[in-house]
């Protein structure tokens, strides 16, 4: 392996900020249960309250409407199950953390198709809302974890609210990469996850736009105002808050990554004109590129890049390390054999132009040794 590894898998997990490590380790050297009334307990509560303020500020919400959870998956489950018996409507490109609980909660869940760019079919959504036989809950991700495609959430919310539906968005990938305002989006709730922001793993939140009755899915001690029981992970939550603060302050500089991403895509297409960049022509996260390498399987690419000291991924990183055909690319109409040549490259705050140079060099070498040279003819 190279002596200077390059990490280009920020959409899987971002490196933890130094400031976050300092906060977490400092709190872990103390003791205190946030439900206790003595000084140590009050100090633990203060850390949680500070974090709640910072996480709320990241998305323009009120602090009292932040429900801390064990991560994005639990927050998504709470969103789908915590607001009564509703017809569930989701898109075909949702993360498994939405699709799996949606299908389990509502066997008749409506799955809305997307076009070739991964954008939701708005007429199909409106038709599904119109035929719902009971109040609906719509869950559409803000930004896709594989392609970076950004959905028109404001329009989705407008359509859904016209039919008295609630709207949830999994904003895990978008947070810290593009500006987020829960009120401007018009959604009723959104999900965040700390480890996508440079915070610790195992901490997330469901954030409400306005106070609503939530049926807790984890019950016991009554924490989080009775909406999610369990002794709070004080150090993790504090780290989440610090990560949210850092992400908010660094948001303007994150946009520079779009130029690096575009340069990467331009240069690999010059090597192999048959390269396809998914969702290339629409609004995408500035750090995300999903692209094919003609004739070379995704699994092979991931392995060879890893041997060269570059970390990338093939689709989602939440499939037990297995590289399988992407349901996202399939939903976008990409043939399976072509979809199996796609990788995801996701940049971040440590990414430099030199990293892009090295990526392109390695990409070119892998393609020249293993790719479909007829494609370049």
CATH number at residue 33: 3.40.640.10
Is 108 found in the same domain as 36? yes
Is 89 found in the same domain as 51? yes
Domain count, the chain: 2
Q: What are phi and psi of 208, to 5 degrees?
A: -95, 145
Residue-level pLDDT, tens digit, the chain, 377 residues? 456 899 999 999 999 999 999 999 999 999 998 999 999 899 999 999 999 999 999 999 999 999 999 999 999 999 999 999 999 999 999 999 999 999 999 999 999 999 999 999 999 999 999 999 999 999 999 999 999 999 999 999 999 999 999 999 999 999 999 999 999 999 999 999 999 999 999 999 999 999 999 999 999 999 999 999 999 999 999 999 999 999 999 999 898 999 999 999 999 999 999 999 999 999 999 999 999 999 999 999 999 999 999 999 996 555 445 556 799 999 999 999 999 999 999 999 999 999 999 999 999 999 999 987 655 54
Please report the beta strands in 131-233, taking only residues with DSSP state E, as ranges in sequence order. 136-139, 166-170, 189-193, 204-208
Q: Give me the sign of the Cα torsion angle 221, 227, 231, 234.
A: negative
The DSSP bridge partners found for residue 193 are 204
CATH number of the structural domain spanning residue 337: 3.90.1150.10
Is 284 found in the same domain as 219? no
Asked if residue 292 lies in contact with residue 342, where contact means CB atoms within 8 angstroms, the answer is yes
Boundary-marking domain end, from 212, 234, 251: 251
> What residue numbers bound the domain in which 191 lies?
18-251
Asked if residue 129 lies in contact with residue 165, where contact means CB atoms within 8 angstroms, the answer is yes
| Active-site position among 162, 318, 319, 324 | 318
**pLDDT score at 377:** 45
Is 240 found in the same domain as 110? yes
Is 37 found in the same domain as 167? yes
**pLDDT score at 320:** 44
Is 267 found in the same domain as 187? no
Boundary-marking domain end, from 251, 284, 318: 251
Q: Nearest Cα to 91, choosing from 114, 64, 68?
A: 114
Boundary-marking domain end, from 208, 227, 251: 251
**pLDDT score at 323:** 59
Is 101 found in the same domain as 64? yes
DSSP structure string for 81-131: HSS-S-EEEEETT--HHHHHHHHHH-TT-EEE-B-TTS-B-HHHHHHHHHH
Distance from C-alpha of 260 to C-alpha of 26, rounded to nearest angstrom: 36
- Distance between alpha carbon 298 and the CA centroid of its chain, in Å? 21
**Whether 290 is catalytic:** no
What is the tens place of the pLDDT at every residue in 111-165? 999 999 999 999 999 999 999 999 999 999 999 999 999 999 999 999 999 999 9
């Amino acid at each position: 392996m190279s002596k200077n590894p390059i990490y280009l898998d920020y959409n899987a997990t971002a490196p933890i900020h130094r400031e976050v490590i300092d906060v977490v380790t400092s709190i872990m050297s103390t003791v205190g249960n946030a439900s206790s009334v003595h000084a140590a307990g009050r100090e633990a509560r203060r850390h949680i309250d500070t974090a709640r303020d910072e996480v709320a500020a990241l998305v323009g919400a009120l602090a009292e409407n932040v429900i801390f959870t064990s991560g994005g998956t639990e927050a998504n489950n709470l969103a789908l199950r915590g607001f009564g018996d509703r017809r569930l409507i989701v898109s075909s490109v949702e993360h498994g953390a939405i699709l799996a609980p949606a299908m389990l909660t509502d066997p008749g869940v409506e799955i809305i198709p997307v076009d070739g760019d991964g954008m939701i079919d708005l007429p199909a959504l409106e038709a599904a809302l119109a035929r719902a036989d009971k109040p609906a809950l719509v869950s559409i991700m803000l930004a896709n974890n594989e392609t970076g495609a950004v959905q028109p959430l404001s329009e989705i919310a407008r359509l859904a609210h016209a039919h008295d539906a609630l709207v949830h968005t999994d904003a895990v990938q978008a947070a810290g990469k593009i500006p987020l305002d829960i009120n401007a989006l018009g959604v009723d709730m959104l999900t965040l996850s700390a480890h996508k922001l440079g915070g610790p793993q195992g901490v997330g939140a469901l954030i409400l736009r306005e106070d609503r009755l939530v049926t807790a899915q984890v019950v016991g001690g009554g924490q989080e105002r009775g909406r999610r029981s369990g002794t709070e992970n004080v150090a993790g939550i504090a780290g989440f808050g610090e990560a949210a603060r850092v992400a908010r302050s660094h948001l303007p500089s994150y946009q520079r990554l779009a130029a690096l991403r575009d340069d990467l895509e331009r240069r690999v297409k010059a090597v192999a004109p048959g390269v396809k960049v998914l969702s290339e022509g629409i609004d995408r996260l500035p750090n995300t590129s999903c692209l094919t390498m003609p004739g070379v399987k995704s699994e092979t690419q991931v392995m060879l890049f890893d041997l060269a000291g570059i970390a990338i991924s093939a689709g989602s990183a939440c499939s037990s390390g297995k590289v399988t055909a992407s349901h996202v690319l399939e939903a976008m109409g990409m043939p399976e054999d072509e979809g199996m040549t796609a990788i995801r490259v996701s940049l971040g705050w440590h990414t430099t132009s030199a990293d892009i140079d090295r990526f392109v060099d390695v990409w070119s070498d892998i393609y020249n040794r293993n790719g479909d040279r007829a494609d370049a003819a």
